[in-house]
Amino acid sequence: MSEQARVAALLADIKAGKVPREMQVLAAKGLLPFSQDRVLPLLVAFLGGPDAELKALSGKTLSEYPATILQAYIASGAEGPELDVLADTLADPALLESVLLSKAVGNSTVLRLARRAPDRLQEIIVSNQERILACPEILGALQANPSLTPLAQRRILEIKEEFFGEKKSFAPSITDDEAKEMGITPQEYMDLFESFHLDNLPEDQLFSSIQVPVEEITEDQASLLQQVSKMSVPEKIQVCLKGSQELRSLLINDSNKLVKEAVVKSPKVTEPEINTIASNRAIDEDILRYIGTARKWVRKYTIIRHLSFNPKTPVGVTMGLLPRLTKKDLKDLGAEKNVPDPVRTAAHRLYLVRIQNQ
């Protein structure tokens, strides 16, 4: 009897309850005198079984397996139920990719993976139009994925429109109470929203990502981030204009410039928020230029100071702000090595003029 046949017979005996417990434990530990690739079906059977001890032992044994053996098993030996077990056991994206690409993988397995798949696996799932047409629920599972990428979002939208007749559109809305809280009229809000010219937004810019370091996100912010990350750019802009300070603090990190612009143009944005943005050395120059030319904000000395000391502020904007700085700040700016040379030189000269005219 071949090794493969002996393993198959052992597996059948285990399922029939004919094998002593000690031998089952040895099998789960990978200690039987069989090659690793032949033992794999046994381990997978234990992983999908009800015995917690055998499942834990098999999981540990499987974690020490060479990826090449697992790849070969997934590609040629595993059936749908085995792939379902492996999808919940394996963590290596390359192995999970093999699971998704297998012709034997079931829709229920793809659905579960879609809810947690990283970017590369999302791309594989959303590219399988034949499976999506057979199981449209996969699109909903992908949309429930907290790490869904803008690319996958756009592909989902395209598939829904092309195959299911769903066209995603967005119309801004404002109630009288919301407008009153913002200190503007409903028509002023609609005019502000239309000023972003979203009708001309290219299809490939309909979705964007929010780039916030994980270590800087609180538990409450994580929930909000999951909520807004799935929104389209028009939806995010409305949130910037109407939403809370917490939401704006996340959306100022959006990769789309229009979304960042909406944060600083929001009627609800506060002076402390603008101070924080003005001092942010990772913010886009266009956003700093807007703040530095907005009458409402250049009346505030702390904002002027933050802009002047921010090396990302356009030189032309900073030059216009220098005459409004105090002598001390001019002196400090004249010695600041991080700002552009023209700014540092002009600040030093203006400081010398000030002390000479005392």
DSSP labels, 111-170: HHHHTT--HHHHHHHHH-HHHHHH-THHHHHHHT-TT--HHHHHHHHHHHHHHH------
Mean pLDDT of all residues in 55-69: 93
**Measured distance CA(283)–CA(94) in Å, rounded:** 35
Full residue range of the structural domain in which residue 338 is found: 294-358
Residue 167 or residue 285, greater confidence? 285
265 & 325 share domain: no
**Measured distance CA(84)–CA(108) in Å, rounded:** 8
248 & 181 share domain: yes
Per-position b or e across 323-333, b if 16+ CB within 10 A of its CB: eebeeebbbbb
In a domain, 61, yes or no: no
What's residue 148's pLDDT?
86
DSSP bridge pairs for 254: 210
In a domain, 327, yes or no: yes
Which band of pLDDT confidence, cut at 50, 70 and 90, is reported for residue 331? very high
Domain total of the chain: 2
In a domain, 206, yes or no: yes
In a domain, 339, yes or no: yes
For the segment 232-263, what is each residue's pLDDT rounded down to a tens digit? Answer: 899 999 999 999 999 999 999 999 999 999 99
Cα pseudo-dihedral 243, 245, 247, 253, rounded to 10: 130
256 & 314 share domain: no
CA–chain centroid gap for 183, Å, is: 33
E-strand stretches of 145-297:
none
187 & 245 share domain: yes
Check residue 355 and report its DSSP letter. H
Neighbours of 337 (CB within 10 A): 7
Take residue 193 and report the two structure tokens written for it: 């929203």
In a domain, 288, yes or no: no
In a domain, 344, yes or no: yes
What's residue 168's pLDDT?
64
Take residue 12 and report the two structure tokens written for it: 């059948």
In a domain, 334, yes or no: yes
339 & 258 share domain: no
In a domain, 82, yes or no: no
For the segment 13-60, what is each residue's pLDDT rounded down to a tens digit? Answer: 777 778 788 888 888 898 888 888 888 888 998 999 899 999 999 999
